[in-house]
Structures are given as C-alpha cells and as structure tokens.
Chains A and B, each alone.
Chain A
Amino acid sequence: MTVPDEPVLDVRNLSVSFTRRSLIPGRRRTSLVVDDVDLTVHKGRTLGLVGESGSGKSTTAKAIVRLVDAQAGEVRLNGVDLLSLRGEALKRARRSVQMVFQDPYSSLDPTMTITECIAEPLTVHRIGDRASRVTAVLDLLDQVGLPRSMADLMPSQLSGGQRQRVAIARAICLHPDLVLCDEPVSALDVSTQNRILQMLTDLRASHGISFVLISHNLAAVQQLADDVAVMYCGTIVERGPAQVVTADPKHPYTRALVSAVPYPDPEVQRTRTRVVLTGDPANPADRPPGCVFQGRCPEVMPVCRSVVPRLADDGTGRSIACHLYEPAPAPQSAPQAQPHNGAGPVRKLRPDTAGKGR
C-alpha cells in the first residue's frame, strides 16, 4: 500500500458507550457500543465500514462528527482532534466533515424547498449572500445530475433517488474534505443504487473528497471502497484493502458477510458454499468475555471463550482479530488459515436443485 502523506481522518482508540437506567433503582446498564476503534482515511480515498445493524458502524460515524459523545479516543481531522474542540472552533472544523444519512425520506425537512435544503449549511456558516447561495445551489444541482428546475420543488415531489442526490449536494456544498455516508443506497431501488454510487465515485475524482461508506452490504461497498473495515459488536474484526478483504475474507464473520450476498445467477448461487450464521448479533450490553463473535462463530475454539483476539497484521496490509490466525502461542490453537470452502459447519447449498419445480 502506498501511503500518501497525512491522513484526512485518523481515529484512534475511539470508544462510545451508552448508559441506561435500569428498572432496579440505582442500577445502570452500560453498553459499550464502540470499543477501541482505529480508522484511517487518506485523501481522495474511500473506506467501507461494514457490519450488521447493531454493530456500531453508525455510532462510530456519529461519534466522528460529534453527533454522539465519545467516551475515549481521538478523532483527528487533518491533524486536529475534533473531540477536544468546543464552540466556534468546533463549528469551523465541522465544515470539513459532512454526513449523508440512510433514509432520504426523513433526512430532508419536508417544509423546505430543495434550494433551502441544499443551502442550509451555507446559511448556518454564514457563507455568501442570498444571491450567491442560489447560484451555488444551481451549480450543485448540476453536479449531482438534477435539473435546475427542481430548485423550487419540495422534497415530497422527488423520488427516493433524487432526494438522496439532494442530500449529497447538501453534504458537498461546503467543500468538505470528508463525507460520511451512512447506508446511502439501502433505501433505494436496485435500479438507482448504482447511479448514486457512480456519482460518489465522480465526486471523489473531481473534488478529491474522501468518503467513509457505511453499509451492511459488502457488494455495494466493494464497488467504491479502497479499504474495508468490518465491524461486529463495536469492534473491528477485519480490516484491509477492499480487494483483498472481499476476494479472500479471512475472519469467519467477514466470510459469512461475503457469502450472504446472493449472486444474481441461479446456477452460481445454488452451488456456492455458504456460511449461514445462526442466531442474532451479539448484544453490546451483554458482551461475552473473550471474542465478541464466539456465540455465532462456526469455528469457535476454547480460547475464544476467554481471550480477546487482538487485531494483528498478516503481512499483506490486512489485519484480522481472530484466534484462528494468531501465530500459535499454544499448540492447540494453531490451525492453518482455512480456505472458506474448508471443512466444518460450512455447507454446500442445495446442490442439484437449480432445475427443480419444473
């Protein structure tokens, strides 16, 4: 990996926990939702943050832009720690980091026109006058491929894909260095998802914007991301160059995520080997000792029940937090890195049924 200069975003040891009062007086329940997360995004690059709902990916993003408070860690944006800023300094720093939310039906104010929606950041940061803001909005509409005639419409008159483009126009209007996109396409039809992803690619090339792309669907992420970080129950379990991680996933959870994306070809799909996870994701309020994935892991070993695996580099720029890949301190915990059609609970999916029912 070539590492160009200082990263745009450098997150170190970020932890977020939520505390809820229990029904029993005086007692509190604390959930560690993001646990000691490190992330780095370089200029003009895209980091895909992947995991199931509840894995802490959205909370990580919100902690980065300080929509939720972090308990510990550093979030360096162009070298400045956002978590230490307050007041006017924070407001100024926030210009360079913007967010696009999942649901374009609820992220735009229904009472504002499209122009008002897109220009709101300019108003908030007191940039330009009325006339220059309108010009800026028209220019932004061009950039996201919407007709200028939409400027005076209301969000309710737009389709989901169009609204998401408005949300993106709003996010880039302050020329940010970093845009965090939280599931930007999962609420959209398949036919328009790629159009949004293509647009993000173009913006990255034309504006040099760095992206953090959050999704539960690895197929959407791999198209755009240079690097991928896979989260489970608040921790990063695997991280590395997107091509390496998606083509040859190592952590059992990443393997399950990759194999869960159906391939749009019946004959390929029905002869694939699939890792089907049982049960629900781990509950951050009730984290087990040892590996967070132990409850659903098809390859769980005794050591996983007690020792937390550390994220370790495997020499190819990829890091994995899994005892399967640790360089064997004890003799019994040293299996070879298994290919994903290996033995064990991995099963062949319904061979020979592709032609049934006819």
Chain B
Amino acid sequence: MTTELLSIDRLSVEARVGSTWLPVVTEASLTVRTGEILGLVGESGSGKTVTCLSILGLLPRHDVRVCGGAIRYRERDLTRIRPRELEDVRGRSIAMIPQEPSASLNPAFTVGDQLGEVLRRHERLSRAQARQRAVKLLDDVGIPAAAGRLNDYPHHFSGGMCQRVLIAMALACNPELIIADEPTTALDVTVQAQILDLIRDLAADRGASVLLVTHDMGVVADACDRVVVMYAGQIVEQADIVPMFRRPRHPYTERLLAATPRMRRPDETEAPVFAYIPGSMPRPGSYGTGCRFAPRCAHHRPECDDHEIALLALPEGNEARCERVNDLDLAGERG
C-alpha cells in the first residue's frame, strides 16, 4: 500500500521577470504513494500549480523553468526525458483535471471529439472505437444519456457537467496518477460535493493515486489521506490527515485551518470568530534569509530570521519547517 508512485526530489523552479530569474519553488520534495489521495494546500502564489505543471512538463517554456531537482516516476526523471517520451506519459499514465472547467474545453469541438482525441492518440483507437469508449466514460462520470451528448459542444454543459467531462478525459487511459488542480474551486458547494465524491470513488475503483491541489481545508478534510502544505514556494508541513488537523505543527497550517469557513455546529451558540492571516505572502525575489512566514507569524522570534529553516522530520512521521516546532503547541480542530 505504501509503495512510491511519484517522487519529487528537491524540485526548484524559477520564473523570469524582465531579465532576472526569480525562484518560485524552492527545493520542494514530496512523494505520492500508490492509491492515496495527497492534498497540496496553500494560498494562491504558494507554488502549488507550478509544482503540478512541472510534473507534466507544462510550464510556459520561455518564462518558467525547472532549475534543480528531479521528478522520479517509474525509474525515469520527468524533468530530463525527451519531449516525445513525456507526451506518452502525459494524459496516459499521469493525467490532469484543470481548475476552470468551462475554460479548459475547446469551444469549437464537440465533447465527443475532445474525449476521443485522448483515446486515439494514446490507445490508437479508431474513430468508432473511440466514440464507443467515450460513451462508456461519460457514463462512468455520471452524465445522463451519454450517447446522445457526444455531439454536444461544451457550451451545452453546465460548469459541473464540464468538470465531469474533464474527469472523463483524465480517466480515459486509466492513469496511475491524477493531478487535480483546484477541481472544485469554480463550482457551487453542492456540485463540489458531487465532484469530490466522484474523484474519490473513481480513483478507488481504478487504484489510481490523486494529487489534489486546493486552498480549502474543508476539501482536504473531505477527501485526502495525507497533506503537504506549501508557502511561498517551500513545503512547510507534511503530515497524515488526522494528525495534521488535530495538531498542526507549522503556524501557517494552524492559521489556514482557523480561517476555513465552517458551518456552526449544533452545540455552538456563540458568534463565530473571524480568523484571517494578516499581511500577504512575500513575492518571489523578496524572501528574507530566515523563515518566509515570519512577517505574518504570531509566534515570530528574532532567531527565526537568522538562517534558512530546515524541514524537520518529527518523531510521529510529520515534517515541519519551523524554528520553534518543539516549543509551540498549536491548536487544531478539537474533533
């Protein structure tokens, strides 16, 4: 159960601003295990999406580049293999569900064409075979009367239905890893619940692993087995799901949890508190020498600024990048 499927090893990515290259991901290491749903959490600008795009070699070529580290998948380093080989992996063994469902489908082609394209490219199916499989896939993701919808264009579908089509495309070649980049952020909460159920059930049926990118701790609590928290291009905490919610070890994780909107529980009568994280994330290029979260941290001490803080492995199997990890007792959810 705990075999490694994909392992990112000290990945560094930089982006070009004018003529200088600024770091956007700094030595990020994470492992996706077979059959698990791994959450990748952080605010916008923390480097989550760039990390995902690096796996698939989809970084904008002239402006963003991998400048260090490796992404190991099946004894190969995805940052170094030839584009042609990567094309065989992308969409077949590793697939992606993008963030904006309605913007991710081509409005000029029918859903059947777009779904069939994946199958024809990777599985070398004929048009007729591809259509047959497409119907089956649309059916699997819960689109009613699937056969009748192949000739529909994306604008005939609602946002939730478009996301189902994209999930069908991601599943088309039975990938081992599905990267879902904020798959429900653009959707209503009711549809979010349906889509999360769908991703989880389909991944379980097919034994696929999922790397689920989100900024919503509620989604993480609902779907994930393990969590990686990113802040300003660094991984700041890594833990199994329950320990992380019970006892976060990095102040950023603790604040993110506190800021997550939630329904008042029946036994809660007092007005909810409005927790938020003051300030904003430092921009690439303006990171200090020490802890990158320090300017926004309530537990900040002078020693936090002295030196680069290392990601420390904790006895219970977590990892946290905090100078004061051993003397802070941060509040989690009470369960």
User: What residue of chain A has the Cβ atom nearest to residue B190's Cβ?
Assistant: A260
A interface residue numbers (CB < 8 A to B) = 52-53, 159-161, 189-195, 197-198, 201, 216-220, 222-223, 243, 246-248, 256-270, 274, 276-281, 354-358
Q: Let me know if A216 and B189 touch, CB within 8 A.
A: yes
Q: Let me know if B263 and A264 touch, CB within 8 A.
A: no
Inside 8 A of B158's CB, which chain A residues have their CB? 280-281
Q: Let me know if B225 and A357 touch, CB within 8 A.
A: yes
Given contacts A191-B276, A192-B277, A257-B190, contact A262 B259 (CB under 8 A): no
- Which residue of B2, B222, B264 contacts A246 across the interface (Cβ within 8 Å)? B264
Inside 8 A of A259's CB, which chain B residues have their CB? 193
- Which residue of A216, A258, A263 contacts B221 across the interface (Cβ within 8 Å)? A263
User: What residue of chain B has the Cβ atom nearest to residue A269's Cβ?
Assistant: B221
Once bound together, how far apart are the Cα atoms of A276 and B193, in whole Å? 7
Given contacts A260-B193, A280-B158, A357-B37, contact A193 B276 (CB under 8 A): yes
Given contacts A190-B217, A263-B218, contact A223 B272 (CB under 8 A): yes
Q: How far does the Cβ of B292 sit from chain A's closest Cβ, in whole Å?
A: 15
Q: Let me know if B159 and A266 touch, CB within 8 A.
A: no
User: What residue of chain B has the Cβ atom nearest to residue A192's Cβ?
Assistant: B276
Interface residue B100 (Cβ < 8 Å from any Cβ of A): no
Q: Let me know if A357 and B36 touch, CB within 8 A.
A: yes
Q: Let me know if A265 and B335 touch, CB within 8 A.
A: yes
- Sample 18 A-B pairs with CB under 8 A, ordered by A number: A53-B159, A190-B216, A191-B277, A193-B276, A218-B189, A260-B190, A262-B192, A262-B193, A262-B196, A262-B219, A267-B245, A269-B221, A279-B144, A355-B242, A356-B225, A357-B1, A357-B33, A358-B240
User: What residue of chain B has the Cβ atom nearest to residue A196's Cβ?
Assistant: B276
B interface residue numbers (CB < 8 A to A) = 1-2, 33, 35-37, 43-44, 144, 158-161, 188-194, 196-197, 215-222, 224-226, 240-242, 245, 255-257, 259-264, 266, 271-272, 274-278, 280, 333, 335
Given contacts A201-B274, A269-B218, contact A194 B194 (CB under 8 A): no
Q: Let me know if A260 and B189 touch, CB within 8 A.
A: yes
User: What residue of chain A has the Cβ atom nearest to residue B261's Cβ?
Assistant: A219
Q: Let me know if A270 and B276 touch, CB within 8 A.
A: no
Once bound together, how far apart are the Cα atoms of A276 and B197, in whole Å? 9
Inside 8 A of A354's CB, which chain B residues have their CB? 241-242
Inside 8 A of B189's CB, which chain A residues have their CB? 216-218, 257, 260-261
Once bound together, how far apart are the Cα atoms of A258 and B266, in whole Å? 12
Once bound together, how far apart are the Cα atoms of A356 and B37, in whole Å? 10
Inside 8 A of B222's CB, which chain A residues have their CB? 262, 266, 269-270
Given contacts A190-B216, A247-B266, A262-B219, contact A52 B261 (CB under 8 A): no
Given contacts A194-B259, A264-B260, contact A222 B242 (CB under 8 A): no
Q: Let me know if B260 and A190 touch, CB within 8 A.
A: yes
Q: How far does the Cβ of B307 sit from chain A's closest Cβ, in whole Å?
A: 26
Inside 8 A of A279's CB, which chain B residues have their CB? 144
Q: Let me know if B245 and A264 touch, CB within 8 A.
A: yes
Q: Let me know if A280 and B276 touch, CB within 8 A.
A: no
Given contacts A258-B263, A269-B222, contact A277 B190 (CB under 8 A): yes
Q: Let me know if A191 and B255 touch, CB within 8 A.
A: yes
Q: Let me know if A220 and B221 touch, CB within 8 A.
A: no
- Not counting A52-B190, A268-B333, a sample of 10 additional A-B residue pairs whose C-beta atoms are within 8 angstroms of each other reads A52-B188, A190-B216, A192-B276, A197-B274, A262-B196, A265-B335, A277-B190, A280-B161, A357-B225, A358-B225
Of residues A191, A256, A258, A279, which shows the largest number of chain B Cβ atoms within 10 Å of its Cβ? A191
Once bound together, how far apart are the Cα atoms of A193 and B277, in whole Å? 10
Inside 8 A of A357's CB, which chain B residues have their CB? 1, 33, 35-37, 225-226
- Which residue of B37, B43, B161, B220 contacts A189 across the interface (Cβ within 8 Å)? B43
